[in-house]
Amino acid sequence: MKKFFETLRNIWKIEELRARILYTLGILLVYRLGTHVVLPGIDPTKLANLSQPSGNILDIINLFTGGAFARASIFGLGIMPYISATIVIQLLGIAVPYFQRLQREGESGRRKINQISRYLTVAILLLQAPTYIASLTYQLPADAFSASFSKFGSVIILTAGTMFILWLGERITDKGIGNGVSLIIMIGIIARLPQSLGLEFLSRLEQQGGGLVAFLVEILILFVVFMLSILLVQGTRRIPVQYAKRIVGNKQYGGVRQYIPLKVNAAGVMPIIFAQALMFIPITIAGFAQSDSATGMAAAFSNPVGFWYNFVNAVLIILFTYFYTAVTVNPTQMAEDMKKNGGFIPGVKPGRKTAEFLDSVMSKITLPGSFFLAFVAIMPAFAMMFGIDQGFAMFFGGTSLLIMVGVILDTLQQIESHLLMRHYDGLMKSGKIKGRAGGASSAI
C-alpha cells in the first residue's frame, strides 16, 4: 500500500504527466455528459422500455456506447461506425493495391488512410442513423415525440455526434494519455459496471440460503477470468534471432541475440467483432430487436444464451482468428527483413525455411489462442445460464472484457514510460508492464 501511494505521488509530481491525465479525464467527462443528452423532440421519460435488457446483440451495442444507444442520445451510435470503417479499410489493404501502397508510405500514407476512414465513417453513419431513428419511432409511443422532432435533423445530429466523439478521441491521443478512441470505448463499458454490480448484489442479497456467498463466488470467478484475459492479451512465444557482426567504420553492429515476440492472440478482439457482425444478420432478418416474434433459425440465433448461437459464434471466432492472423502476420516478409539485416534463427536456414518455420510456429500457437478466445467470448452466456444478471454477465467475457484489459494495460504502460524517463520506479516491483501491439488499438 505504501508503494502504491508513493507511485501516485510520483505521478502527480511530473507536471507533463499530471496535465495529460487531467486533460484526458476532462475529455472523458465531456463524452459522458454527452451520452445523457437526448435527441431534440424526444421525451426522456418515455425511454424506459429501451433501457430494459432485450436479450440480444443490441445489448452489446448499448454496452459499448455507455448506455447512450438506449437513451436516444446525440451520441447514440457511439464510435462503432468508425471502428467498422477502419475494419473495412484494413480488409481493403489486403486485397486492393492502392491501400497496400498507402500502408507502405509511412506517415503520409497513414494520414491519407485516416482521412479515407473518416469519409467512410460518414457514409456508414448516413446509413445507420436513419435505421436507428426508424427503430425509435417503431418502439416508442407516439406521444414520446413532440412537434419539434425531425427525422432529418436527428440523422444530422447523430452523424455529427459520432464525428465529435472521434474528434474527442483524437484530442486524447494527441494531448492526453493512452489511445483516445480505445479509452472512450472502455469508459462506456466501465460506466455500466457499478449499476450492474449493484443490481447483482441486491438480487443475490434477496435470495434465501447463501445468496451472499454466491455473489462472492461470482466476484472470485470474475477475477480469475480477468487474470486469464491478461494472459491471453500478453501471451507471446519468443523466437530467438541472431544477428551477424558488421563493422561500419570504427563501430561494430550486430552480434547480439534478440527475440521476435509472436503473440498467442495476434488477432486481438477482431475475430469477436467479425463474428458478432455476422451473428447480427439473423436479428435483422427477424425484425429490428424483435426476437420474441422470431421463429425457427432466426429465433435460435437471436438468443445469446442458446446453444446454437454460442456454438456457431465460437466456430466463427476460431475461423476468423486464423484468417485475421494469416492476413496480418506475414512470415515471408519477416523472413526477408531478417535476411536483409543479417539476422537468422539459430538452426534454421535464412529465407524460405525461416518463413516456413515462423508460419509453423504461428499455426501452433494460434490454435490454443483461438479456442481460448472463443471460450472468453461465450463466457457471458455461461454466466447467464447460472442465473447471473445479464447486465453483469457481460463483464465475464467477450469483446468488452478484452477491450478493458487491453486498454488498461496500454494506458498503464504509457504512464510507466513517463515515470521511467524521469528515473522514478515503475508501476511494478519487478519488470515492466507489457502493452499489446495488436487488438483493439490497432483496429481503432
C-alpha 268/C-alpha 265 separation (Å) is 6
Q: Are strands 236-243 and 257-263 parallel, antiparallel or unpaired?
A: antiparallel
Query: Residue 125: how many CA atoms within 13 Å on its side-chain side?
Result: 30
Residue with the bigger pLDDT between 208 and 38: it is 38
**Which CATH code for domain 19-181?**
1.10.3370.10
Average pLDDT of the segment spanning 165-185:
89
Q: How does pLDDT run across 13-64, given as a tens digit for each residue?
A: 888 888 999 999 999 999 999 988 889 988 888 776 665 555 455 666 777 7
C-alpha 433/C-alpha 444 separation (Å) is 22
C-alpha 63/C-alpha 170 separation (Å) is 22
Average pLDDT of the segment spanning 399-420:
81
Q: What is the pLDDT of residue 425?
A: 63
Superfamily designation of domain 192-444: SecY subunit domain (1.10.3370.10)
Closest residue by Cα to residue 410 from 78, 172, 197, 168:
172
Highest mean pLDDT among 157-171, 200-214, 250-264: 157-171
Q: What is the largest CA-CA distance in the chain?
A: 83
Give the 3-state secondary structure of residue 388: coil
- Asked if pLDDT for residue 221 goes beyond 70, the answer is yes
Highest mean pLDDT among 211-215, 313-317, 395-399, 427-431: 313-317
**Could you tell me where the beta strands, DSSP code E, fall in 164-226?**
none
Q: What is the pLDDT of residue 172?
A: 92
pLDDT band (50, 70, 90) for residue 433: low
Which run of H or of E encompasses 382? helix 352-385
Average per-residue pLDDT in the chain?
Answer: 79
Q: How does pLDDT run across 133-172, given as a tens digit for each residue?
A: 888 888 788 888 888 888 899 999 999 999 999 999 999 9
100: its cell numbers: 497496400
Q: Do domains 19-181 and 192-444 have the same CATH topology?
A: yes
Q: Tell me the one-letter amino acid at 20.
A: R
Query: Do residues 75 and 82 lie in contact, with contact meaning Cβ atoms separated by under 8 Å?
Result: no
Q: How does pLDDT run across 291-341, given as a tens digit for each residue?
A: 444 555 656 666 667 777 788 888 888 888 888 888 778 888 888 888 887
56: its cell numbers: 440480444
HEC letters along 27-49: HHHHHHHHCCCECCCECHHHCHH
C-alpha 206/C-alpha 249 separation (Å) is 78
Query: Taking the CA atoms of the chain, what radius of gyration do you get in angstroms?
Result: 24
Query: Do residues 32 and 191 lie in contact, with contact meaning Cβ atoms separated by under 8 Å?
Result: yes
Q: How many CB atoms lie within 10 A of CB 366?
A: 24
364: its cell numbers: 501452433
Secondary structure letter of residue 288 according to DSSP: T
Secondary structure letter of residue 140 according to DSSP: S
C-alpha 152/C-alpha 258 separation (Å) is 58
Beta-ladder partners of 252: 247
| Domain residue extents for the chain | 19-181, 192-444
Percent of the chain scored above 70 by pLDDT? 81
DSSP structure string for 52-116: S--SSTHHHHHHHTTTTTTTTBTTTTTTHHHHHHHHHHHHHHHH-HHHHHHHTSTHHHHHHHHHH
C-alpha 273/C-alpha 338 separation (Å) is 33
Report the interhelical angle of 270-286 vs 80-95 (nearest 10°). Answer: 110
Q: What is the pTM of this model?
A: 0.77
pLDDT band (50, 70, 90) for residue 289: very low
Residue listed under C-alpha cell 561500419? 248
Query: Do residues 443 and 87 lie in contact, with contact meaning Cβ atoms separated by under 8 Å?
Result: yes
